[in-house]
Structure 1
Amino acid sequence: MTTIRAFLFSVYLVVLTLVMGIGTIPIRLTGRRHAALRYAKLWSRLVLAGLTRICDIRIEVTGQEHLLHGPALIACQHQSFFDGFIWMNLVPRPAYIIKAELTRLPIVGPMLLLAGMIPVERHAGARALRGLMDATQSAFSDERQIIIFPEGTRGLPGEKQPLQPGIVALAKQSTAPVIPVATDSGRCWPRRGLMKYPGTIHVTIGTPLATANGRGALIAAITTAWDELNARPQASSSESRTADVL
């Protein structure tokens, strides 16, 4: 049954993306960024709704009181494609830092750019970092909440990966708070393959971190915060919230 559910969700995701892709045509023609972001939010909401209903996966989010409506740098663990959907409806004006290859995907790519996502060429060195810093500063000025995955790639649940230094450069150029977020999404939606496993995905949001103590201190603070958030007992259903994303 789990395999059948995973297959049905894959079909649902492809059909949904193709159908909604047609709907992007007038938005792309008019170039309306706010409309593109609203449309992306709807698409993400429908994807997660399908995930919960088809694959029997529950989503529990705790710590939403730490999220801000103004500029913020959200440093999230990254384990699966789920992490790319969840933030679209947890904050009002999300801007993901994404790998540039995603912007070259048919249908999806142009909308990512129009919705204000921030692409980065991961192998372009200092030039890429300068471009990233300029783009994020513009997003902060536009009151966006920037989502970054400091590990740089998807990892396994419980796996520790070195954090990339870009998070420090972005944190130092702005007064926006850095908000650590832990997740175990890879347990239900593995980083590779099509399988989806029934269960509960936990997204745990921590308190903002101090950013004025240098590179090593910030990276250590993020890593420590993730460890502490992952070690917390899971919240009861009355303490968690799912209405924001479904």
Structure 2
Amino acid sequence: MLNEWSKGVYRFRSIIGSALFNCVFIGWTAVSVTLMIVLLPFPRLVLQRAVKAWAWSQHWALKILLGLDYEIRGAEHINNGAAIYATKHQSAWDTYFFYLIFSDPAYVLKKELTKIPVWGWVARRCGAISVDRDGGASALKVMVHNARQRLSESRAVIIFPEGTRTQPGTHQAYHPGIAALYSQCDAPVIPVALNSGLFWGRRSQIKEAGRIVIEFMKPIPKGLKRRDFMAQLEIIIETRALELAKEGSQKFPNTRHRLHISRLVNSADQAPVD
């Protein structure tokens, strides 16, 4: 009875808190975007500071209205200079988090996003690296060229190898772009796992109280063959992401994904070992 009551309270808080946060998100984003349009002619770093301020406002709104915070693990692996961060992607939260820890990040994103009015203008002005997924080898060359330029400025390059958000405990095939960056850029590739989808799911208007864990891991050793690099990167990220999903669902048992994660973990535990 008490357990059902706590679930009800948790769900009620999530619904009310999400409604309030969504209002704040829409309203403050409209104000922030207006300011960013005004700042477009200014130097990039001025615009980046405005984006960073917007990101921090979203963090505090989540924390105050919903009780949703985050925890960084493996901070010792965060590079002070140029580095490529290959990160799991489960939530809209992931798209602005790196502004909380870096002053001038450069995101790798699909070309279509840079064509969105206003948002695309800001992304391009901030130095986002666009990728034409249908462009083949020539598109990869352009992406690598742009990434090298950002890295030469000692910037953090953020890439989502799957190219889309996934539910906790699931994954998509990793795209070849990350392998091109690994082999052709003189910068460490740092795997990043997280469990943000437990609390702010893809295409979900409901956010939930809890603590997102984002973990930075040791850079992938240089000199690996493409196939070996891709296999190692995927195993490291996906294994740790599943562990973080399991941990989060145990610490916050009222999340909607708890049963889903439990089934995934149980099936993984029962799978035969080669």
TM norm structure 2: 0.80
Following superposition, the deviation at residue 184 of structure 1 comes to 0.6
Following superposition, the deviation at residue 141 of structure 1 comes to 1.0
Mapped to 2, the partners of 1:109 and 1:12 lie a distance apart of: 22
Mapped to 1, the partners of 2:114 and 2:176 lie a distance apart of: 23
Mapped to 2, the partners of 1:7 and 1:123 lie a distance apart of: 38
One of 46, 62, 65 as aligned partner of 2:76 = 65
Q: How does 1:160-175 map to 2 (within 5 A)?
A: 160-175=171-186
Following superposition, the deviation at residue 80 of structure 1 comes to 0.8
One of 18, 33, 49 as aligned partner of 1:21 = 33
One of 128, 134, 155 as aligned partner of 1:144 = 155
1:217 aligns with 2:228: yes
Q: In the alignment, residue 158 of structure 1 is paired with which amino acid?
A: G
Cα distance per residue 1:125-150 (max 9 Å; x no partner): 22321221111111111111100000
**Larger of the two Rg values belongs to structure:** 2
| Runs (4+) off by over 6 Å | 232-235
One of 56, 64, 86 as aligned partner of 2:67 = 56
Cα-Cα RMSD? 1.8
When structure 1 is superposed on structure 2, of 181-190 and 197-206 the one drifting more is 197-206
Give the number of the structure whose residues are more often helix, by fraction: 2
Which consecutive unaligned segments of at least 5 residues does structure 2 have?
A: 1-11, 249-274
Q: How does 1:34-113 map to 2 (within 5 A)?
A: 34-113=45-124
Which consecutive unaligned segments of at least 5 residues does structure 1 have?
A: 236-246
Task: State the match for 1:203 in structure 2.
Answer: 214
Cα distance per residue 1:68-105 (max 9 Å; x no partner): 11110101000011100111122343111012232233
Task: State the match for 1:122 in structure 2.
Answer: 133
Q: Aligned with 1:58: secondary structure?
A: strand
Q: CA 1:215 to 1:22, structure 2 compared with 1: closer, same or farther past 3 Å?
A: same
Task: State the match for 1:3 in structure 2.
Answer: 15
TM norm structure 1: 0.89
Q: In the alignment, residue 146 of structure 1 is paired with which amino acid?
A: V
Cα distance per residue 1:176-216 (max 9 Å; x no partner): 00100101110100011211122221101101111311111
Q: Aligned with 2:41: secondary structure?
A: helix
Following superposition, the deviation at residue 220 of structure 1 comes to 1.5
